[in-house]
Amino acid sequence: MKNQIAAVGAAVIMCTLPHCVRAADAVDIYVNGRIIDKQGYIDDGTTYVPIRAVSESLGAAVDWDGKSVSVTMSEDDTVSNLIESASESVVAIVGNYKGGRGQAAEYNELTAHGTGVVIKSNGLILTNAHVVADIENITVVFNDGTSCAAAVKYIDTESDLAAIQIDRLGLKPMRIAPDTSDLKVGRTVIAIGTPVSLAMRNSASKGIISGLNVAVSSSAYPLIQTDAAINPGNSGGPLLDLQGRLIGINSSKFAGVGIEGMAFSIPAETINYALSQFEKNGRVLRPDVKAAFDESWEARIGLPTSKGITVRTSSSPELKAGDMVTAVNGNAVHSISDYNRAVRDTFTDTLNMTVVRNGETITLNVSYELK
């Protein structure tokens, strides 16, 4: 299906009169992270860009009949250009299982591989913790076939995120979305990775967002659910929206007889949280309140519930066994995933919890230890 724009406002048409352009106001234009050979300019607080150059860099056809501009672009054009641009920032990651042949024999392979995403031009690459936790002699393979040795710089098993470092500069980092608040179920997404074999590195698949803030028992945080094809080796690769933004890191899937198209990605909120903690502390520091929690049976099977999480055991001065925590720093909590998300999004130096104790609702400032 094609979309056509027949009327274009002045804000996107390049003024060609000599007196309009001032060199000091010239601006570079990046399309999907790549600079184009034309410049725009700023005039009186408004940014003007050359519509033909921008549109054609996206693969669109542009026509001018003297009265109006017509930009025609199919979804195929958008997707293929996006994949081509993003592939420069996607790598395969391969290594030997730690412990040599003894451990490798359990997997019937001597090596393991996954996928990574360049996030800094200085060689910092994001992937899943489970991709690199059990391997050594790590090698990164780029889309053009070149390779570099890598070492794990940061790792956090709870979020299942890690960053590895290579000795290479001038890489093209992928743009990370600030969050997923503007995403909707049904939006088109693209997954890129290295499924099954290194010969298939930078394979792409297309799907939709099937669910947002999905709780999965194997994950501490809510995930994005997608039906884009994600297979062994895709772990650590990007889930992209049609703006070319990294909205998730592909991490897991449900597999089994009768199960199809149920894959999961770590969302941008958790990615940005982990990266900020890596840069600030060298690891992710979380508040330990010295208590263990249980979910309600409704939360365990995925039913909506107004119940909170119950304190199973506690050595906390404030929390007691049997307390039901219903909110953390003002955020409602109905599951362990909700609790972790509330801590992720709101914790600075205070943990204020709303608790139901013996039928009475009370508010507690809960002490903690950073771990």
Catalytically active residues are 130, 160, 235
AA identity, residue 121: S
Helix/strand/coil for 268: helix
Query: Got the DSSP string for 87-124?
Result: GGGEEEEEEEETTTHHHHGGGT-SEEEEEEEE-STTSE
CA 142 → CA 90, 173, 239, distances in Å?
A: 7, 13, 18
Q: What residue spans of the chain are helical by DSSP H? A: 51-57, 75-86, 101-104, 129-132, 268-281, 297-301, 336-346
- CB neighbourhood size of 314 (10 A): 17
Q: Can you name the residues that pair with 365 across neighbouring β-strands? A: 352
Structure-token pair, residue 197 = 């074999």
**For residue 305, with 0-12 CB atoms within 10 Å meaning exposed, 13-18 middle and 19 or more buried, which class applies?**
middle
**H or E element at residue 356:** strand 352-357
Query: Helices 336-346 and 268-281 sit at what angle, rounded to 10 degrees?
Result: 50
Task: Say how far apart CA 165 and CA 282 lie, in whole Å.
Answer: 13
- Residue 186's contacts (CB-CB under 8 Å, 6 or more residues apart) are 208, 209
Structure-token pair, residue 206 = 């297309």
Task: Say how far apart CA 309 and CA 40 lie, in whole Å.
Answer: 54
Measured in whole angstroms, how far is the alpha carbon of residue 362 from the centre of its chain? Answer: 36
Measured in whole angstroms, how far is the alpha carbon of residue 312 from the centre of its chain? Answer: 33
Is 194 in contact with 202 (CB distance < 8 Å)?
A: yes
Nearest to 16 by CA among 63, 51, 55: 51
